[in-house]
A = this chain, B = another copy of it.
Amino acid sequence: MSSSYGESLRLTIFGQSHSPAIGMVLEGIPAGETIDFGELQRFLDRRAPGRNGYSTARREADVPEFLSGLVGNVTCGAPLAAILRNADTRPGDYAAFASVPRPGHADYTAEIKYGGYQDRGGGGHFSGRLTAPLCIAGGVCRQLLAREGIEVAARILSIAGIRDRGDFTAPVGEKPFPVVDDACGEAMQAAVAAAKAEGDSVGGVIECVVRGLPAGLGDPMFDGMENRIAAIAFGIPAVKGIEFGAGFAAASMRGSEHNDAYEIRGGAVHAKTNRAGGILGGITNGEPLVFRLAIKPTPSIAAGQQSVDLEKMEETALSVPGRHDPCIVPRAVPVAEAAAAIAVADALLARRKEKR
């Protein structure tokens, strides 16, 4: 299948970059949950394009229209559906790529999979634009989690190899450039500008932390929190890796270094360290859940590349003009939060059925 996610919540995303609209349906949100539309909009605006030098010039109002699932601003138990109109479409921009797949994009794989029937405009269903409805769902779930004392926060951990410094203890999502240490952020922005000037692009790493989680969320084997978060996070275009807690660094550690000892703190059991990233056996242990996403550099670059004309079956040069982010990492920060919020809210609802 394709575009559904979740067990107790079920999210379905639809739309193409240049279809009349994109949107989402979210089933399973309990009745009686209030949606703060202002807060939701502020969250969506963090992802919106066209706000600064490092993002695409394409502008979309991105104000969701809720079609169902609400009475006023309170959920009524019916599926929640919302859409965003695609106002600023320029399908003509993509005519040239009809038969010449752009390297690093899904053009070639979509051509094979859909036998030439795919929507080529702007990446079609593979467009980063589809993360906007993901953020609608995620923004709703964030509010539901906040009411349970759960906070989801992400930051840029690195761009172009330049790493943020400082402990990530408080949310930075409202900053124009979401890092802990703004000096590092400036260096990252300089690296983005340099790449852009050369018609090139850069990637980075996002770190996401979920605080306030109860212990006991998630299930063994294929429905652990790691499986659940990975299964949605790889739905964000350009994600090529995910790690939890110490992650790949754990592979070089000894058990005595990696194991988190238990202690009693404030009358409760806690881990003294958090190399597990808050998850053991797929299940939360009450410590902050920590994961990181590897984001590849934007594949659309002005610099010349080699591709193949699929109709003529001959090699050809290609340059991708259009409107593209030289680095999508900053805009992907709220998307990572959205994905985490959905996965966690789903697990939280699933957890309820185990308790009387």
Contacts and interface: CB of A to CB of B under 8 A. Distances in A.
B3 A262 contact: no
A30 B297 CA distance: 31
Interface string A262-287: 11100001011000110111111110
Given A8-B353, A241-B241, A103 B230 contact: no
A202 B262 contact: no
B243 A240 contact: yes
Interface in A165-204: 195, 200-204
Interface string A86-129: 00000000000000010111101110111111110000111000
A234 B240 contact: no
A100 B21 CA distance: 39
Interface in A302-356: 303, 305-308, 310, 313-315, 349-350, 352-356
In the complex, the count of this chain's copies comes to 4
Interface string A71-90: 10011111111010000000
A246 interface: yes
Given A20-B65, A235-B227, A247 B255 contact: no
Nearest to A195: B254
B113 A251 contact: no
A37 to B, nearest CB: 14
Interface stretch (A9-17, A39-47, A48-56): A9-17
A284 B112 CA distance: 9
Given A28-B1, A301-B259, A308-B264, A76 B234 contact: no
Contacts of A215: 108-109, 112-113
A300 B255 CA distance: 8
Given A243-B241, A263-B308, A19 B234 contact: no
Nearest to A75: B117
A258 interface: yes
Given A220-B78, A308-B262, A27 B4 contact: yes
Nearest to A284: B109
Given A2-B79, A4-B12, A16-B68, 11 more contacts: A14-B69, A21-B68, A30-B356, A78-B220, A106-B283, A108-B280, A110-B281, A250-B295, A259-B301, A264-B308, A352-B355
A105 B227 contact: no
3 smallest beta-carbon distances between A and B, as pairs? A106-B281, A241-B243, A78-B125
A47 to B, nearest CB: 16
22 contacts: A12-B27, A25-B25, A30-B353, A76-B119, A77-B118, A79-B125, A103-B262, A104-B276, A109-B283, A113-B215, A226-B239, A230-B230, A240-B277, A247-B294, A250-B295, A250-B296, A251-B294, A259-B305, A262-B308, A264-B315, A272-B306, A352-B356
